[in-house]
Structure 1
Amino acid sequence: MPSPSAVGERSPFTGLPQDRARPVLAVKIDNVGPARPQTGIDRADLVYVEEVEAGLTRILAVFSGPPADLPDRVGPVRSARESDLELLRQFGRPALAFSGAQSRLLPVIAAAPVHDVSPAHASGAYARDGSRPAPHNLYASPARLLAAAPDASTAHDIGFRFGHAPSGGAAATTRTVRFPAGSAGLRWSAERQRWLVSFDGRPASATGSGQLGAPTVVIQYVTVRTSRYHDRWGSISPYSETVGSGDAEVLRDGKAFRAHWSRPDADGGTRFTTGQGAPMTFARGPVWIVLAPRPS
């Protein structure tokens, strides 16, 4: 896959200048009411929003910046899902921070191309916050997580392209992605030059910062099917398929662009193209990707 954003010049995740490639850390983060506001996700390069049990959502935040850009702590950290492993294969062998998983899934995680930096393998990176109720109170230090995974793969091209917006697009100021038991709302802020995020009708924020948002938000329509696993209450874990192809909507610069996504195999990145087949370019900066259920 050609890379116009050469490592050492610009980040392949954000299109912003970087001095050199940095290791990739993915952190699974809680996204129910008691977990909000979360900590550290305002410093992530990429933020994935995905469906979990009971129609709720959870976040997978991906960091690859220099140490000075990493938050002091991130969380609340929660459990991993099978579909995370497919999603993360395009990053090589990143570090994956999570707190537990369904017992039958643990051997699958152990065999996956990730560096497991859960509390079982990096206990010194985690601490509980007594001001919050369990299980929504486990936080981790990204620096300590990466220290526990010295061989984590570094950031490389995963298919994203950055630059001026393509021609076309329709003026847009709001979008709402609905899940069975929640929603992700998006509102364009011309003042902040980013799409501001809400969850379940309420502005989403991170501790110590304002409302969360990003210059580019991708609504990627995927097949959400049942997996082989379930939670402790018997709810089946959904599996968001990120290998394949489908429709997408890319939000940037106060416009919505119809797009197509394609990822032929799990080891490759995800390409986004316009309706005319040209590369769909993102605005430089953090990118949020909402893995939305494909319309039936």
Structure 2
Amino acid sequence: MALGLTAALALSGCNKDSTADANGNGTPDAQETAQGLTVAGEWPLTGEPAKGKTPRHPVMIVKIDNTASSSPQQGLGRADLITEELVEGGSTRLAVFFYKHVPNRVGPVRSMRATDIGIVKPAKAVLVASGGAPPTVRRIKDAGITSFTEGATGYSRDTSRSAPYNLFMDLKKLSHQVKAKDRVDSYLPFGSAKDLPKGQPAKGLAATFSGGHTTNWTFAGGKYTNQNSFAASGDQFRPDNVLVLRVRVGDAGYKDPAGNPVPETKFTGSGSAMLFHGGRVVRGTWKKSLDSTVSLSTRAGKLPVPAGHTWVELVPQSGGNVTITK
């Protein structure tokens, strides 16, 4: 099921201003709506039904810290999709996707990694990160990815926090500066939950990235809850699906300021996959090239991801582990 962005033959009038919640987060307003484009079918990051005009801005992916120092993270509750990746020191970092909703404040924003190339390109997204090591910045640029680092429109420092965990981005401001240029294909192979194989009971899971970090999930009320979340109260991302992809991890070729080797997740090739939905788990395999979307399959055929919000865990094949709670 694909999202089509089709040219409209004629447009007239404009949308009313968006309604926003207490945090200034709302649906796209007239200034954020593409002229001459309509959404047909589904939102590309959730597979949910879509009507009307597509946002005029591209998908925006923000790199957000995922350690205790990031607490409280802000903006996660308005995200469409989140990917968790391994970084140096055994910690993880989040690549948070925003498209349907554009929060005023997200962060704390941290630096980019070469891993982000395989995450960002399939969404034709722009990358919002504090900066990056010179080798990584060059690779991101050579990959044709537009990045917005500290100093760009929307960035600010929160003086009540300590650096480097005090950098935040006003995505609404940035969205007025960047225009969508390309059609956005469905990021995952979305489908109907009724077409999902039965699988096995799974009340939760533990995704281990390293000896120092495990992300624990529990299922209740139709949603998954991250037991390790550093998000602000009421701003947690509670997905309908947790998709675990076992990936190869190599060496990025440089060290962080503390002397830790920087890992690089290879979000290409193939590997085993586990799709958690509705308190059950279905096992399969995944396949992906650097700039293509992910394909999922079982021995019986294609594996659809039920429409809704998804958290993608890029768990290392070596040194990582996944434990299922039955």
- The answer to whether TM tops 0.5 is yes
Counterpart position of 2:294: 270
Counterpart position of 1:14: 46
Alignment of 1:235-250 (within 5 A): 235-250=260-275
SS of equivalent to 2:296: strand
SS of equivalent to 1:221: strand
**1: CA distance between counterparts of 2:235 and 2:258?**
35
Counterpart position of 1:140: 169
Amino acid in structure 1 at the alignment position of 2:262: S
Shift, 1:31, TM fit: 0.6
| 1:78 is aligned to 2:102 | no
SS of equivalent to 1:110: helix
Shift, 1:29, TM fit: 0.4
In structure 2, list runs of 5 or more residues that go unmatched.
6-38, 320-326
Counterpart position of 2:277: 252
| 1:171 is aligned to 2:195 | no
Shift, 1:141, TM fit: 0.9
Check conservation: 1:21, 1:156, Cα contact below 8 A. no
TM-score, length of structure 1 as denominator length: 0.88
- Kindly report the root-mean-square deviation, in angstroms, between the aligned alpha carbons of the 2 structures: 1.8
Shift, 1:186, TM fit: 0.8
SS of equivalent to 2:135: coil
Spell out, residue by residue over 1:83-112, the C-alpha distance to the aligned partner (whole angstroms, 9 max, x if none): 1112212123x2110001112322222322
Check conservation: 2:3, 2:184, Cα contact below 8 A. no
SS of equivalent to 1:224: strand
**2: CA distance between counterparts of 1:79 and 1:233?**
15
Shift, 1:197, TM fit: 0.8
Counterpart position of 1:183: 214
Amino acid in structure 2 at the alignment position of 1:269: T
2:129 pairs with one of 71, 79, 98: 98
SS of equivalent to 2:134: coil
Check conservation: 1:127, 1:139, Cα contact below 8 A. yes
2:120 pairs with one of 88, 97, 116: 88
**2: CA distance between counterparts of 1:222 and 1:251?**
17
TM-score, length of structure 2 as denominator length: 0.81
CA gap 1:62/1:153 in 2 versus in 1, 3 angstroms = farther
Check conservation: 2:83, 2:94, Cα contact below 8 A. yes
Counterpart position of 2:149: 118
- Shifted more, 138-147 versus 47-56: the winner is 138-147
CA gap 1:100/1:211 in 2 versus in 1, 3 angstroms = closer
Shift, 1:182, TM fit: 0.6
Check conservation: 1:81, 1:101, Cα contact below 8 A. yes
Check conservation: 2:285, 2:297, Cα contact below 8 A. yes
In structure 1, list runs of 5 or more residues that go unmatched.
none
Shift, 1:219, TM fit: 0.7
CA gap 1:150/1:45 in 2 versus in 1, 3 angstroms = same
Check conservation: 1:229, 1:237, Cα contact below 8 A. yes
Check conservation: 2:2, 2:42, Cα contact below 8 A. no
**1: CA distance between counterparts of 2:267 and 2:136?**
19
Check conservation: 1:102, 1:230, Cα contact below 8 A. no
**2: CA distance between counterparts of 1:149 and 1:70?**
13
Check conservation: 1:49, 1:289, Cα contact below 8 A. yes
Check conservation: 2:120, 2:126, Cα contact below 8 A. no
- Shifted more, 109-118 versus 168-177: the winner is 109-118
**2: CA distance between counterparts of 1:152 and 1:232?**
37
Shift, 1:151, TM fit: 4.3
CA gap 1:172/1:63 in 2 versus in 1, 3 angstroms = same
| 1:46 is aligned to 2:81 | yes
Shift, 1:244, TM fit: 0.5
Check conservation: 1:159, 1:269, Cα contact below 8 A. yes
Amino acid in structure 1 at the alignment position of 2:298: T
Check conservation: 1:261, 1:270, Cα contact below 8 A. yes
Percent same amino acid among aligned pairs?
A: 28
**2: CA distance between counterparts of 1:77 and 1:61?**
10
Shift, 1:5, TM fit: 4.2
Check conservation: 1:115, 1:152, Cα contact below 8 A. no
Spell out, residue by residue over 1:233-268, the C-alpha distance to the aligned partner (whole angstroms, 9 max, x if none): 2211111111101101000011011021011x2121
Query: Considering only CA atoms, is the larger Rg found in Structure 1 or Structure 2?
Result: 2
**2: CA distance between counterparts of 1:205 and 1:281?**
30
**1: CA distance between counterparts of 2:106 and 2:181?**
18
- Shifted more, 155-164 versus 83-92: the winner is 155-164
Amino acid in structure 2 at the alignment position of 1:116: S
Spell out, residue by residue over 1:7-35, the C-alpha distance to the aligned partner (whole angstroms, 9 max, x if none): 42211210112234432101000011010
**2: CA distance between counterparts of 1:295 and 1:235?**
18
| 1:218 is aligned to 2:243 | yes
